[in-house]
Structure 1
Amino acid sequence: MVAEAALLEQLSPTARLKLVLEVIDDTIASLPEGVEQLLVGEAGATVEAAIRSIRAAVSGSEPEELADEVGDELLELADDFDLMPLWQLFMGIFYCVGVEASETSSDLARETLAALYDGVRDSEDLPEFPVGTAEDVVLAVEMANERCLRAIVRQKELIREAAGVS
């Protein structure tokens, strides 16, 4: 992901937010059915409102007046024990709500992409590792998981596409 991190730096702020929006959409579409069912009712409506706000920012609109309210609702959802498999997804979306496209830093994009990947990982039934477990051990387990591997590959593809690199 080192090469992709450098490409992320080269993107314009607006291109970064557009990329993040694509990864949000891709992440939601890749959720397992049981986890996806958690995005009904209030949770789904809040996520949809947040995504509309981000889409508006990508298209050049000023952040919506309700962005703070939507952000607060995302934080509440992230703290809801019943929605725990989605807390990283909620946080990743939260990072971008109310952000103007022209102010999307590479740090914000990286942090958001990491949270969205963590959301995919958390939706899978992977083993818990004790603190201090070697990173290569954890990564090997994640790479052996089809959904996690797909998320990693897809994020890299989307970054390369946004940068115009094949």
Structure 2
Amino acid sequence: MRTLWDREMQAEVESIESMASPARLELARRVIAWTVSVLPVESAALLDSDAGEWVRSAVRMIDAAAEGLEVSEDDVDEIEDELLELADDMDYVPLWQLFNGLVYAVGVSSTEMGGQTTVEILSACYDVVRDCEDLPESVEPEAEEVVLAREMANDRCRAAIERQRAFVREAGV
């Protein structure tokens, strides 16, 4: 089932595909940072643990790559493994897409960031916002429009779409 992000970000996805790799990595970096900064208090509190340290390590690694620095493959593997474990941990359910989005970005150099990878990161970041809002799960065969209407009615979901659109516009300049 499509999400509001899938429906609303089609033009931006096309724009991302045409960007240079360094611009894509910078875009992903900015969206990830923004997403972490707007987590609701109860979700942000989940990062006051080892999970937060792994998120900060991943963000530092993405920052280093955006600055053109080399990162250790061993460090990449360790961070990816920890983030994947966190994504499966029921204690961190609202943040599982954040961990997945970080896995997509960790270890990718500024010359290797692909369009589809960037799209996956942005979509995962939107999903974090949606998941933190604890919107009701879709019940089959509930109409897709009902699910999309729930997301559209949510202020944080709409704000995430608008902010990501702005980031894409800024990156495409």
Q: TM-score range by the shorter chain?
A: over 0.9
**Which residue number corresponds to residue 156 of structure 1?**
165
**So what's the TM-score if we normalise by structure 1?**
0.95
Residue 94 in structure 1 maps to residue 100 in structure 2 = no
- Cα RMSD after superposing both structures: 1.1
Give 2:36's match in structure 1, choosing from 23, 28, 45: 28
1:5 Cα offset (Å): 1.3
Q: Distance in 1 between matches of 2:57 and 2:77?
A: 11
Q: Deviations over 1:50-89 (max 9, x none)?
A: 0000000001112334111011010111111111110011
- Other-structure match for 1:131: 140
Instruction: Tell me the distance in 2 between the aligned counterparts of 1:133 and 1:151.
Output: 24
Please, which runs of 5 or more residues in structure 1 have no aligned partner? none
Give distance in 1, aligned partners of 2:143 and 2:165: 23
Distance in structure 2 (CA, Å) of the matches to 1:103 and 1:132: 40
Shift of 1:139: 1.4
In percent, how many aligned pairs have the same letter? 50
Aligned residues: 164
Aligned residue for 1:38, secondary structure, equals helix
Q: Would you identify which runs of 4 or more consecutive aligned residues in structure 1 move more than 3 Å?
A: none
**Offset at 1:100?**
1.3
In the alignment, is residue 58 of structure 1 matched against residue 66 of structure 2? yes
Partner of 2:57: 49
Q: Please, what TM-score do these two structures have when normalized by structure 2?
A: 0.91
- Corresponding position of 1:73: 82
- 1:10-50 Cα offsets, whole Å, 9 max, x none, are 21111101100100011111111011100112001000000
Partner amino acid for 2:99? F
